[in-house]
A and B are shown apart, each in its own frame.
Chain A
Amino acid sequence: MIRSVGQKSLPAIGFLTVARDADQGLLGGYLVLNSLGRPLEFHCTAPVRANRAQEILYGPTLDPYLCGERIGQTLLEKSKAAPRIVLTDCPPAMAARFVVDTPMALVLDPPAPTPETDDAGPHSALHAAGETAIGGVVRVASGSGGAPLHAFPLGSYRVAVLAECPEDEPYLVEQWAHFAGQIEMDEPFHRIREAIDEARASSH
């Protein structure tokens, strides 16, 4: 149905998220876009669920283990394109950075709210997760295993990289220039969630 067309190598960027389903477990989705925001690849996982032993033994590091090392790493390694950077909106997925070479950043905040929505309060998922920030280092209280992150502005957003990978910040700033203006940083995550829902619906 979809015709293959001539290839042109535009810079690619990856978007990784993990959806949590109360019945099924964790569902990972990874979308690779070119610099025009067009989809190149989409990878999604079957539901991943920790067993009881893992829940006990991994304790607070369970989420980073599942979202980052298992789901994140597996998805990123499936990609045939070579994204310059990978963005995620899922704090525990940042743990993938420990096991992959591609620089990663966590998208913290959407653009500044418009005056009409200014009273809506913080928009970041991290606020809900209990983010604390001291001197630019963000520590996420829950769900990330407490991996320290370093936050900084990128375009009209605020993002964070692993504090252990400070070299990611200048690289991200440099690479984002290829995508700024073409891609809204938080928008592709909506596409991934819809695609995950579609894939789940088709498997039933």
Chain B
Amino acid sequence: MPMCESQTSGKPPAAPRTSAEAPLRIVRADLSVPVACFATGWLTALRREARIDVAHIPLEPAPTRALSVQITQTPVSVRSYMFPELPANCPPAGPPRPVAAARVSDVTKSLPARTRFQPPRDIVKLQDRLYYLLQPPLESLVNSGQLTFPNQPFAYQYQGIAFLYPRYAAILADEMGLGKTMQAITAARLLLRSGEIRSVLLVCPKPLVTNWQREFAHWAPELPVSVIEGDQTRRRWQWQQDQVPVKIANYELLLRDADVLCGRQLQFDLVVLDEAQRIKNRSSTTSQVARSISRTRSWALTGTPIENSPEDLVAIFDFLLPGHLNSNMQARRIGRAARDYVLRRSKDAVLTDLPPKLYRDADLELTCEQEEAYRAAEEQGVVRLSRLGEALTIQHVFELVLRLKQICNFDPMTGSSSKLERLEADLEEVAASGKKAIVFSQWVQTIEIMSQRLARFGPLEYHGKIPSRRRDQTIAQFRTNPNHHVLLMSYGAGSVGLNLQFCNYVFLFDRWWNPAVEDQAINRAHRIGATGPVTVTRMLTRGTIEERIQQVLEEKRQLAAAVFSEAGGPDNLGLTQEQIFGLFNLPVPAPVKRVGTSPVGFERSSDTLAHVSRLEHGTGGL
């Protein structure tokens, strides 16, 4: 490597001169540097084997912790209920009959799918409630052929049967003509077939015994039925027979055989009172005997659970559930307490396709003869009543009412009658159209007079003077013979239990003391099976006692509505004794005042009135 020549070794090189001084000359220079080696000891260390020391550091694993989850078996606690098996002697009716099957298909179209038994509130034991709740629907029984009907029941009738079946105390209070008979028979039939009951006693008014017999044969042909009748020895023997599950007796027999019935030898599983308003007077012997019959279940059938006052319902409950209702309860409270025991449906609500019932009020003027007789009788009567003073009783007033009502029908001297004139005119039309009519009156005497005057219409009579054995024949004759256009009936004998739905006209020649009986009379024609509209003509003479009584009847209709409506209503719609005396503007004598002025007093009064009527004129006793 060229170097600048400047000095020898050992000396530091001189600084190069600038070009102005002299040009640089490259000379050789010895740059060797003495190097001496000496031992540091490091090399040895490098050559030495690496020394490895192993240190033990404990690496203990973290403990594995297991969490056990217990999968316990979910506890299942069970409540069990056992029910009695169907008795061996009541096998199913067999496979569905073709006719029944066809009807069942109709049922599915027209009925709610399933009508189930609902246990009433007074059944508190769960086992018993479930027993009813778990029974098959009525439609299933029909569908399977276990239960057959000659005619297809209506949906509301299924509901009525389901209502009665589980109840130990019940009132079926359907409006007349809705088939209470069929519902009661079917419910009893089901109970008998299921083995829940073995003996049934049905009590009804005497004229209806054959009707019940017929209905049992129609709706429950497999059930043997025994009618209690004949002399005392025979009846006593009949009462003791327990092979026949259904016994039918009339109310009058209850009284005669009270010693047998009130003893403890006889026990019925079910007692049904038809036309249960017959026991509305709690102090009557009929009511007492009915209440004393030893029984497990009690049903009452009536279209008029309240005829005059809520007291009527209290009396029926004394038979069903003694003490459940009492006379001191107000109408609304009675309604609430009775609700679970009473089933009441009106035709308007359930029979939307029933032909209409048309009311026609015939407000008539008295004939001159009637007018004269009426005014004279009224004036004399009122004067006589006024003169009685403290001796005046309600019976005296009744006698005058009866007298005046009769004059409103016929003039006692001449027989003149504006009502009959009108009736004759109307019956001409009825007969010309080939229809049939029923005429109701309170008096047999009136019926007999009418029968003579209406001879050209082929009248038939049905009242208390007609022997029981001839009554069915009379009805059959009226039904089948086209020459008989009119049936003359007393309210007492003909207002209950008869099926006269082939009649299109009903005439109320005079008015009964309470609207419920009138309704029953009208519903002989306006009921299931009615072939057309039923025209009801209510005859009334203007400006007479009939007009005043009419106002009372309207008030009574409102009374019944008050008890059975949710909204309630006035508690006192009956007529007080003051009002009865007030018919003639008479003051109430002091002794009568002390008796009381409650509507109950009116009930007693109207009963007495009807009683007097029957006694004096031989009407309608059953």
What are 19 A-B pairs with beta-carbon distances under 8 A? A1-B125, A2-B83, A2-B84, A3-B196, A5-B86, A31-B134, A36-B92, A38-B85, A38-B194, A39-B134, A40-B82, A42-B130, A46-B78, A57-B71, A187-B137, A190-B114, A191-B136, A194-B116, A202-B126
The yes or no answer to B87 lying at the interface (CB within 8 A) is yes
Which residues from 170 to 186 on chain A have a C-beta closer than 8 Å to any C-beta of chain B?
181-184
The yes or no answer to B13 lying at the interface (CB within 8 A) is no
- Compute how far the CA of A53 lies from the CA of B68 in the bound complex, rounded to whole angstroms: 11
Known: A8-B85, A8-B86. 8 other contacts (CB 8 A): A10-B86, A40-B82, A41-B80, A43-B78, A44-B79, A49-B74, A53-B71, A191-B134
Known: A31-B134, A202-B129. A7 touches B85 (CB 8 A): yes
The yes or no answer to A100 lying at the interface (CB within 8 A) is no
- Compute how far the CA of A54 lies from the CA of B72 in the bound complex, rounded to whole angstroms: 9
A1-39 CB contact bits vs B (8 Å, 1 = yes)? 111111111100000000000000000100100101111
Give the residues in chain B near A36, CB-CB below 8 Å.
86, 92, 136, 144, 146
**Are A8 and B84 in contact (CB-based, < 8 A)?**
no
**Are B129 and A78 in contact (CB-based, < 8 A)?**
no
The yes or no answer to A129 lying at the interface (CB within 8 A) is no
Give the residues in chain B near A9, CB-CB below 8 Å.
85
**Are A70 and B92 in contact (CB-based, < 8 A)?**
no
* Closest chain B residue to A72, Cβ basis: B76
The yes or no answer to A75 lying at the interface (CB within 8 A) is yes
Give the residues in chain B near A191, CB-CB below 8 Å.
116, 133-134, 136
**Are B78 and A57 in contact (CB-based, < 8 A)?**
no
The yes or no answer to A45 lying at the interface (CB within 8 A) is yes
Most buried by B among A7, A37, A66, A78: A37
- Compute how far the CA of A7 lies from the CA of B144 in the bound complex, rounded to whole angstroms: 21
Give the residues in chain A near B127, CB-CB below 8 Å.
2
The yes or no answer to B458 lying at the interface (CB within 8 A) is no
The yes or no answer to B88 lying at the interface (CB within 8 A) is yes
Cβ-neighbour of A187 out of B86, B136, B195 (below 8 A): B136
The yes or no answer to A71 lying at the interface (CB within 8 A) is yes
- Compute how far the CA of A195 lies from the CA of B195 in the bound complex, rounded to whole angstroms: 22
**Are A195 and B130 in contact (CB-based, < 8 A)?**
yes
| B contact face: mostly helix, strand, loop, or mixed | loop
Cβ-neighbour of B133 out of A4, A78, A195 (below 8 A): A195
Which residues from 68 to 110 on chain B have a C-beta closer than 8 Å to any C-beta of chain A?
69-71, 73-89, 92, 95-96
Known: A6-B88, A202-B129. A41 touches B83 (CB 8 A): yes
The yes or no answer to A137 lying at the interface (CB within 8 A) is no
**Are A38 and B135 in contact (CB-based, < 8 A)?**
yes
The yes or no answer to B131 lying at the interface (CB within 8 A) is yes
Q: How many residues of B contact A (CB 8 A)?
A: 47
Closest chain A CB from B122 CB (angstroms): 11
- Compute how far the CA of A105 lies from the CA of B503 in the bound complex, rounded to whole angstroms: 58
Most buried by B among A36, A50, A75: A36
Give the residues in chain B near A101, CB-CB below 8 Å.
none
**Are B131 and A2 in contact (CB-based, < 8 A)?**
yes
The yes or no answer to B140 lying at the interface (CB within 8 A) is yes
Cβ-neighbour of B140 out of A75, A183, A199 (below 8 A): A183
The yes or no answer to A74 lying at the interface (CB within 8 A) is yes
- Compute how far the CA of A49 lies from the CA of B77 in the bound complex, rounded to whole angstroms: 12
The yes or no answer to B123 lying at the interface (CB within 8 A) is yes
Give the residues in chain B near A199, CB-CB below 8 Å.
79, 126, 130
- Compute how far the CA of A190 lies from the CA of B140 in the bound complex, rounded to whole angstroms: 13
Known: A46-B76, A53-B69, A57-B71. A80 touches B82 (CB 8 A): yes
The 3 tightest CB contacts between A and B, nearest first, are A8-B88, A5-B195, A39-B134
Give the residues in chain B near A187, CB-CB below 8 Å.
114, 136-137, 140
The yes or no answer to A119 lying at the interface (CB within 8 A) is no
Cβ-neighbour of A42 out of B71, B134, B137, B145 (below 8 A): B134
Closest chain B CB from A47 CB (angstroms): 9
B45-80 CB contact bits vs A (8 Å, 1 = yes)? 000000000000000000000000111011111111
Q: How many residues of A contact B (CB 8 A)?
A: 50
Closest chain B CB from A191 CB (angstroms): 5
**Are B195 and A181 in contact (CB-based, < 8 A)?**
no
Closest chain A CB from B483 CB (angstroms): 49
The yes or no answer to A48 lying at the interface (CB within 8 A) is yes
**Are B135 and A181 in contact (CB-based, < 8 A)?**
no
Closest chain B CB from A66 CB (angstroms): 6
The yes or no answer to A118 lying at the interface (CB within 8 A) is no
The yes or no answer to B143 lying at the interface (CB within 8 A) is yes
**Are B196 and A78 in contact (CB-based, < 8 A)?**
no
**Are A2 and B76 in contact (CB-based, < 8 A)?**
no
Give the residues in chain B near A1, CB-CB below 8 Å.
123, 125, 128
**Are A194 and B82 in contact (CB-based, < 8 A)?**
no
Give the residues in chain B near A57, CB-CB below 8 Å.
69, 71
Closest chain B CB from A182 CB (angstroms): 4
Give the residues in chain B near A195, CB-CB below 8 Å.
130, 133-134
Cβ-neighbour of A45 out of B70, B77, B116, B195 (below 8 A): B77
**Are B146 and A182 in contact (CB-based, < 8 A)?**
yes
Give the residues in chain A near B145, CB-CB below 8 Å.
181
Give the residues in chain B near A28, CB-CB below 8 Å.
76
Most buried by A among B76, B83, B87, B146: B76
Cβ-neighbour of A34 out of B73, B78, B85, B131 (below 8 A): B85
- Compute how far the CA of A202 lies from the CA of B123 in the bound complex, rounded to whole angstroms: 12
- Compute how far the CA of A108 lies from the CA of B86 in the bound complex, rounded to whole angstroms: 30
Known: A191-B133, A195-B133. A184 touches B143 (CB 8 A): yes
* Closest chain A residue to B108, Cβ basis: A114
Most buried by A among B116, B133, B143: B133
Give the residues in chain B near A54, CB-CB below 8 Å.
71, 74
Closest chain A CB from B172 CB (angstroms): 21
* Closest chain A residue to B92, Cβ basis: A36
Cβ-neighbour of B92 out of A44, A51, A182, A194 (below 8 A): A182
Give the residues in chain B near A38, CB-CB below 8 Å.
83, 85-86, 135-136, 194
Closest chain A CB from B609 CB (angstroms): 45
Closest chain A CB from B91 CB (angstroms): 9
A60-72 CB contact bits vs B (8 Å, 1 = yes)? 0000001000110
- Compute how far the CA of A44 lies from the CA of B136 in the bound complex, rounded to whole angstroms: 18
Known: A36-B146, A181-B96. A46 touches B77 (CB 8 A): yes
Give the residues in chain A near B96, CB-CB below 8 Å.
181
Closest chain B CB from A78 CB (angstroms): 5
- Compute how far the CA of A36 lies from the CA of B114 in the bound complex, rounded to whole angstroms: 16
**Are B85 and A5 in contact (CB-based, < 8 A)?**
yes
Closest chain B CB from A104 CB (angstroms): 18
Give the residues in chain A near B70, CB-CB below 8 Å.
53
* Closest chain A residue to B70, Cβ basis: A53
Cβ-neighbour of A194 out of B77, B123, B128, B133 (below 8 A): B133
**Are A75 and B95 in contact (CB-based, < 8 A)?**
no
Which residues from 106 to 164 on chain B have a C-beta closer than 8 Å to any C-beta of chain A?
114, 116, 123, 125-131, 133-137, 140-141, 143-146
Give the residues in chain A near B86, CB-CB below 8 Å.
5, 8, 10, 34, 36, 38
Give the residues in chain A near B143, CB-CB below 8 Å.
184
* Closest chain A residue to B75, Cβ basis: A48
**Are A182 and B85 in contact (CB-based, < 8 A)?**
no
**Are A39 and B131 in contact (CB-based, < 8 A)?**
yes
- Compute how far the CA of A1 lies from the CA of B217 in the bound complex, rounded to whole angstroms: 30
- Compute how far the CA of A74 lies from the CA of B130 in the bound complex, rounded to whole angstroms: 20
- Compute how far the CA of A157 lies from the CA of B266 in the bound complex, rounded to whole angstroms: 51
Closest chain B CB from A13 CB (angstroms): 13
